[in-house]
Amino acid sequence: MFVVLISQVFFKMNQDTKVEDHLAPSVYDCSVDPSVLQDLKEIASLIESGAYTSEVRKIYRAMRSTMKLRSKLKASVLSAFLNYALAPGSEVHARLSSYLLQDRHDDSQVDVEIPATDAKYLVPELEIYCCLLVLVFLIDQKKYNEAKACSSESIVRLKSMNSITADVLASRLYFYHSLSYELADDLAEIRSNLLALYRSATVRHNKLSQETLLNLLLRNYLRYNLYDQAEKFRSKAQQAEALSNQQFCRYLFYQGKIKTIQLEYTDAKDCLLQAARKGPTTAVGFQIQCNKWAIIVHLLLGEIPERTVFTQRRMEKALRPYFELTYAIRVGDLELFRTVAEKFSSTFSQDRTSNLIIRLRHNVIRTGLRNISVSYSRISLADIAKKLNMDSDNPVGDAEYIVAKAIRDGAIDATLDHANGWLVSKATADVYSTNEPQIAFDSRIVFCLTMHNEALRALRFPQDLRNKESVAT
């Protein structure tokens, strides 16, 4: 009798529990990771605190913490966080939840009541943060069309917000807005919108958004090989003090690419080397791209990059085609250069350096001619054409033209005997009796001074310390 009574009690309690769960107004999936959801709630509190006190460093810290959680984000976690951070039934909540509805149906669901004590944050920064989370999740799930729609709606919503703390989140939203269209191969559609956003950011003095949008526009132009338009926009854009090291590195990289295409190799080399030096060591892909373009610029300047450039950690495989290309140019073998160019043609096309590789053919010939002039005191033009593997209709005439141009440019120290068809090399002079050592030392000193000045400009001091010094004086 006692056992039957206990069984009835437990059956009644189970029925009451099911009825309460069925009537619960807010639900989230059983697949929600409590630790990830708790971390997102802490980030929301940090963003709210930074918004109220206008402390940008807290927003930066919140974004760094979010990137660590990026691989753990799921539709169920984001839905639970939206229920926590935004007011249910609001326009923003309904819009963002609609992008997660399909993924939530794929998960097993159990109705679980959300505590009624959870606060609803209404600061604009948190609304931008929720949009950013959903946008990043859609991009990671490769749902580019949904990401395009989500980012476009968020950008429209963002235009009415203007604050220092919102500028940090807005710059990230602009980046992923452009990325979603780039992955969908529709980057040209948003060019006019990016120009309008850049104009608004300039008027509002949103420095971080200006830097981000400037780089996004340069990337947009370069994507479609509009180098002249990119240079015109870059030269007329308002240059402000760099706030983000990542954005400044991207700007230097894009500027280096533009200078390379416009034959300004010296300035391009400085920009690319500076971008590679300042870039984060963890950004391996960015470092590889900087080194690829820097190697090409070195070769176009007639310089041979050091071997250590090609043996950097986690870059050997990616830089292998450029190492073989450098070897072909160093030995001056035109046939080997053609073989390497054909072998890695797909790689060069993917890196958008095919046109620059074509320019290097003349450098191969000049290097081979320089080696010939050093090895022989006198050599016929026919032998020069044979050694350079020139396969034209008139190899001797082409060799004569190339030799004359090399002598005029100062690439070789020799004279051309047109009557006998000879190239007569002059005696090798002592290099220390020329200005070459002075030029080399000058370039190194300029490099060191530039790095020292950049390090001084990069120093930052706490705001309280400046206030104390001003009061003391």
Looking at the structure, do residues 186 and 323 belong to the same domain, yes or no? no
Q: Domain for residue 62, yes or no?
A: yes
Looking at the structure, do residues 47 and 185 belong to the same domain, yes or no? yes
- From 331, 346, 371, give the residue that closes a domain: 371
Q: What residues contact residue 452 under an 8 Å CB cut-off, 6+ apart?
A: none
Looking at the structure, do residues 187 and 229 belong to the same domain, yes or no? yes
- Residues 385, 305: Cα–Cα separation, whole Å: 27
Looking at the structure, do residues 175 and 142 belong to the same domain, yes or no? yes
- Residues 374, 382: Cα–Cα separation, whole Å: 17
Provide the pLDDT for residue 84: 82
Looking at the structure, do residues 240 and 292 belong to the same domain, yes or no? no
pLDDT digits (tens, 9 = 90+) for 170-180: 888 889 888 98
Provide the pLDDT for residue 362: 81
* Confidence label for 257 from pLDDT (cuts 50, 70 and 90): very high
Q: Domain for residue 438, yes or no?
A: no
> Which of 263, 279, 277 has the alpha carbon at shortest distance from 227?
263
- From 324, 341, 371, give the residue that closes a domain: 371
Q: Which residues sit opposite 379 in a β-bridge?
A: 423
Looking at the structure, do residues 62 and 188 belong to the same domain, yes or no? yes
Q: Domain for residue 19, yes or no?
A: no
Q: Domain for residue 94, yes or no?
A: yes
Average pLDDT over residues 427-438: 73
Strand duo 378-380 + 422-425: pairing: antiparallel
Average pLDDT over residues 295-319: 87
Provide the pLDDT for residue 460: 67
Tokens of 259: 């200078």
Q: Which residues sit opposite 424 in a β-bridge?
A: 378, 415
Looking at the structure, do residues 347 and 392 belong to the same domain, yes or no? no
Is residue 16 over pLDDT 50?
A: no
Looking at the structure, do residues 361 and 287 belong to the same domain, yes or no? yes
Q: Domain for residue 269, yes or no?
A: no
Q: Which domain holds residue 225?
A: 34-101+120-257
Is the separation of the CB atoms in 109 and 29 below 8 Å? yes
Tokens of 391: 């396969």
Q: Which residues of 270-294 are buried (b: 16+ CB within 10 A; e: fewer)?
A: bbbbbbbebbeeeeeebbbbbbbbb
Provide the pLDDT for residue 256: 92
Is residue 287 over pLDDT 80?
A: yes
Is the separation of the CB atoms in 388 and 365 below 8 Å? yes
CATH code of the domain containing 419: 1.10.10
Looking at the structure, do residues 135 and 55 belong to the same domain, yes or no? yes
Strand order in the sheet with 422-425: 378-380, 422-425, 414-417
Looking at the structure, do residues 220 and 77 belong to the same domain, yes or no? yes
Q: Domain for residue 266, yes or no?
A: no
Q: Domain for residue 331, yes or no?
A: yes
Looking at the structure, do residues 354 and 206 belong to the same domain, yes or no? no
Q: CA distances (Å), 399 to each of 57, 382, 419, 429, 454, in order?
A: 64, 8, 15, 25, 47
pLDDT digits (tens, 9 = 90+) for 47-57: 887 778 877 78
> Tell me, what DSSP letter sits at residue 277?
H
Provide the pLDDT for residue 254: 92
Backbone angles phi, psi at 434, to 5 degrees: -105, -175
Q: Domain for residue 336, yes or no?
A: yes
Provide the pLDDT for residue 436: 77
Burial of 183 (0-12, 13-18, 19+ CB in 10 A): middle
**Total domains, the chain:** 3
- From 222, 257, 292, give the residue that closes a domain: 257
